[in-house]
Amino acid sequence: MNKRAHVYVSGRVQGVFFRSTTRSEARKRGVTGWVKNLPDGRVEAILEGKKDEVQEMIDFCHEGSRAASVSNVEVEWEDHKGEFSGFEVRY
């Protein structure tokens, strides 16, 4: 079953390769969507794919890149929309 998750990650997650690492991890799993920095210091992501693979990405978001220090991950599960062909970093 395909699912979509809208994720917000808080902590020291900007300037620590969080977005590029997220992109690499998503591409390895075949998860599509995007990730971007928010003005308030959080990172936002849309993750689409098989439910198990999306859950693996959410698990990754709890740890992030090596230099990251994640304090909170908010997840909103949504219906899969299939609107992405890959995974990208947005600016």
Which positions are annotated as active-site residues?
Answer: 19, 37
Q: Is 85 helix (H, G, I), strand (E, B) or coil?
A: coil
Q: Is 48 helix (H, G, I), strand (E, B) or coil?
A: strand
What is the length of the chain?
91
Distance CA(91)–CA(88), nearest Å, equals: 10
* Residue type present at position 70: V
CB 29 within 8 A of CB 83: no
